[in-house]
Structure 1
Amino acid sequence: MRSDLVFGALTHVKNRYELCQLASKATRKLHKPNTRLQDTTNEVLDRFKDSAPMGDSTDAPVQKVDLQERRAA
């Protein structure tokens, strides 16, 4: 079921929007003619479940911000 694949992929990608962007780009690159787009999407999500699609190098260092420095927009 696709929801199981999505939740499995969310273990490596924390942001759902980012997961959708990565999955759509990967689906476009991996899709083959004469196959169903749904099957390609499921394959991409299955690959994301098994490994981190972005790798570990894109994690930006988190900076601690004091409460006084936070301001609403």
Structure 2
Amino acid sequence: MRSDLIYNSLRPVRNRYLLCQLISKATRKFHKPNTRIQDTMNDVLVRVGQADEQEAVIHVSNERVAEPQRRAA
């Protein structure tokens, strides 16, 4: 059941709000067309639940993806 998946996912990510944000963003990234979004969400919950540490789930990259360009006024 999904409730079991959610409780397993709370082990590495203790903050429920952060878990909700993480699962929603990951579901959007991992979702494939012509598949059920419920299955994608369950897959993401399983992946998060299997993580050993919070750092394995949440990784903030310090590198810049794009440089902002300034324009003259």
What's the TM-score, normalizing by structure 2? 0.73
- Give the C-alpha shift of residue 25 in structure 1: 0.3
Whole-Å separation in 2 of the counterparts to 1:17 and 1:36: 24
Whole-Å separation in 2 of the counterparts to 1:54 and 1:12: 10
Give the residue type in structure 1 aligned to 2:23: A
What's the TM-score, normalizing by structure 1? 0.73
Structure 2 alignment gaps of length 5 or more:
61-73
- Give the C-alpha shift of residue 15 in structure 1: 0.5
Aligned pairs for 1:1-73 (under 5 A) are 1-51=1-51, 52=54, 53-54=57-58
- What do you get for the CA RMSD once the two structures are aligned? 1.3
Equivalent pairs counted in the alignment come to 56
Structure 1 alignment gaps of length 5 or more:
58-73
Structure 1 segments of 4+ aligned residues over 4 angstroms from their partners: none
Identity %: 59
